[in-house]
Amino acid sequence: MEIKFKPIGIIHSPYQRMEETPRQGSFSPENYSSIEIFPQYEKGLNDIKNFSHIIVIYFLHRSKGYSLLSKPQRHNELRGVFTTRSPHRPNPIGFSAVKLLEKKKGILTVSGLDALDDTPVLDIKPYITEKDSPFKNSVV
């Protein structure tokens, strides 16, 4: 079974290389990126200014191959790749919950996105606290 997607937009970010993307503190004011949604999808952004935070799903286009065991950032031991945020994974899909600062036509300005420049965007979703903050909802 093969699943096919097409980019709906592209990320413009200050990061050219994986080593440059922030690990923590990615919501610092210097960390602005813009997300350009292609004109044919722009209408899908209607009313997005009602949301303070959005989820961005993207294609980790610079990922090359993967290993099922991987070293997480700042760790030395090998772990299962699904317990890391390594870009080198069987399906190189990236996910970030980011703060929406501005929308002008098809361009969203956000902070907290640690994606590389030119990253293809696959989906934008509203961040809904009740749904997306599991610690608020868990039956402990």
Closest distance to its own copies from the beta carbon of 13 (Å): 16
Query: What gap in Å lies between CA 140 and CA 137, rounded to an integer?
Result: 9
Query: Which residues have CB under 8 Å from 38's CB, separation 6+?
Result: 7, 8, 9, 10, 106
Contact yes or no for 110/100 (Cβ under 8 A): yes
Tokens of 72: 């997480």
Residue 132 touching its own copies (CB under 8 A)? yes
Q: Number of residues interacting with its own copies: please give it, by CB under 8 A.
A: 69
For its own copies, give the closer residue by CB, 16 or 90: 90
Q: Which residues pair with 107 in a beta bridge?
A: 36, 104
- Residues from 33 through 92 that contact its own copies (CB under 8 A): 37, 41, 43-48, 50-55, 57, 59, 68-69, 78-85, 89-91
Nearest to 115 by CA among 5, 6, 2, 10: 10
- Residues from 4 through 33 that contact its own copies (CB under 8 A): 4-8, 24-29
Binding residues for its own copies (CB under 8 A) = 1-8, 24-29, 37, 41, 43-48, 50-55, 57, 59, 68-69, 78-85, 89-91, 93, 95-99, 111-112, 120, 122-135, 137-139
